């Protein structure tokens, strides 16, 4: 067992972030339950499946405590991962490096975003452990409902991932590269999507796609790399930038759900065109993605 303490830059509320994440779960994906105060996630650290638990121990300044348990943890088991590995994984998961204060100052005078950032003070989106996981999820979610995508993802994770303490770690690139397309298709994806997932996994496994270096790349450089992979377009690239990398200014203007929501919240009720979405979000640059996230969360939590 390894326990570390870490700080979140600027304001942060783990409880609110957990509640918002729960609100984004597709209806019918899981039975309703009380939002926990601890973020519990199955991860892979130094090649070993582990349970990572994060809890908030202080609000101002925001401090968190992360605890990791592996299958070998215990008095007679193997030592846990080093503290820096745990801290890095937990910091990524809760988006600890993102400073919300500049966004709050920008939004303060806006009639909608000002009150909303006050009501959602400290809200951040969680990030997946790896960009590979995010890219696979992007393929699954293309052109199907969120509920269907949720169930397909769960089948793939349980079939090809590693179980630990009631949770399952997302499959490795190696496991999905070796999976026959037919087995992936049996989880609910189309045969073509199964080929896309397998092709992506093969590129990562062979080292032809170095996802570990993408944190340092610009948004446009990442878009170029993502769209060069078979089966991945601009929507998938923006999805990766928003959720996988936590880039605060990325807001996909071509997303129908965003067009509809912003038309209802910021427009006259009709679905906005991509150009109208860009125009509506222009005042919030360089935090247009955060503005959309707060509007989405506010809508889900019945605040607007």
Boundary of a domain, candidates 200, 222, 244: 244
Residue 295 is encoded by which pair of tokens?
């509007």
Q: Does residue 280 carry a pLDDT above 90?
A: yes
At residue 31, the pLDDT reads: 55
Give Dmax over CA atoms of the chain in angstroms: 64
The fraction of the chain above a pLDDT of 70, given in percent, is: 94
Same domain (yes/no): 166, 91: no
Same domain (yes/no): 139, 218: yes
For residue 75, what pLDDT band results from cuts at 50, 70 and 90? Answer: very low
Residue 19 belongs to domain spanning: 2-97
Same domain (yes/no): 137, 105: no
Sign of CA dihedral 193, 154, 167, 53: positive
For residue 40, what pLDDT band results from cuts at 50, 70 and 90? Answer: very high
Q: Is 27 exposed, middle or buried (0-12, 13-18, 19+ CB in 10 A)?
A: exposed
Angle at 24 between CA 114 and CA 242, to 5 degrees: 70
Same domain (yes/no): 108, 256: yes
At residue 69, the pLDDT reads: 87
Boundary of a domain, candidates 206, 226, 244: 244
- Into how many domains does the chain fold? 3
Same domain (yes/no): 136, 196: yes
Q: Interhelix angle for 274-281 vs 256-265, to 10°?
A: 50
Q: Is 151 exposed, middle or buried (0-12, 13-18, 19+ CB in 10 A)?
A: middle
Residue 171 C-alpha from the chain's centroid: 16
Tens-place pLDDT, residues 233-273: 999 999 999 999 999 999 989 888 899 999 999 888 899 99
At residue 77, the pLDDT reads: 54
Of 241, 256, 258, 244, the C-alpha closest to 293 is 258
Tens-place pLDDT, residues 23-33: 988 776 665 55
Average pLDDT over the chain, rounded to an integer: 92
Tens-place pLDDT, residues 163-221: 999 999 999 999 999 999 999 999 999 999 999 999 999 999 999 999 999 999 999 99
Same domain (yes/no): 84, 111: no
C-alpha distances in Å from residue 250, one per residue of 59, 206, 230: 28, 30, 22
At residue 143, the pLDDT reads: 87
Same domain (yes/no): 36, 11: yes
Q: CA 119, CA 292: separation in Å to the nearest integer?
A: 15
Same domain (yes/no): 142, 228: yes
At residue 76, the pLDDT reads: 44
At residue 247, the pLDDT reads: 96
At residue 252, the pLDDT reads: 87
Same domain (yes/no): 137, 232: yes
The fraction of the chain above a pLDDT of 90, given in percent, is: 84
CB contact at 8 A, 18 and 35: yes
């Amino acid at each position: 067992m390894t326990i570390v303490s870490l700080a979140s830059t600027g304001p942060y509320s783990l409880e609110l972030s957990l509640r918002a994440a729960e609100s984004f779960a597709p209806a019918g994906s899981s039975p309703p339950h009380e939002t926990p105060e601890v973020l519990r996630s199955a991860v892979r650290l130094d090649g070993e499946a582990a349970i990572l638990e994060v809890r908030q121990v202080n609000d101002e300044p925001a401090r968190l405590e992360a605890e990791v348990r592996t299958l070998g943890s215990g008095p007679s088991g193997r030592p846990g991962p080093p503290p820096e590995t745990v801290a890095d994984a937990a910091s990524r998961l809760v988006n600890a490096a993102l400073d919300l204060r500049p966004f709050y100052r920008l939004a303060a005078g806006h009639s909608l975003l000002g009150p909303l950032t006050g009501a959602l003070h400290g809200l951040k989106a969680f990030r997946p452990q790896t960009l590979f996981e995010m890219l696979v999820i992007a393929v699954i979610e293309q052109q199907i409902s969120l509920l269907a995508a949720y169930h397909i993802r769960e089948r793939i994770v349980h079939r090809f991932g590693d179980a630990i303490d009631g949770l399952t770690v997302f499959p490795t690139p190696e496991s999905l590269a070796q999976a026959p397309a037919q087995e992936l298709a049996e989880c609910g994806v189309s045969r073509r999507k199964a080929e896309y997932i397998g092709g992506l996994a093969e590129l990562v496994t062979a080292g032809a796609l170095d996802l570990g270096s993408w944190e340092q790349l610009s948004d446009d450089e990442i878009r170029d790399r993502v769209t060069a992979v078979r089966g991945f377009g601009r929507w998938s690239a923006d999805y990766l930038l928003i959720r996988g990398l936590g880039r605060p200014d990325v807001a996909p203007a071509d997303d129908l759900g965003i067009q509809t929501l912003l038309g209802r919240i910021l427009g006259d009720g009709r679905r906005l065109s991509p150009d109208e979405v860009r125009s509506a979000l222009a005042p919030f640059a360089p935090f247009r993605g955060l503005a959309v996230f707060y509007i989405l969360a506010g809508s889900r939590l019945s605040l607007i």
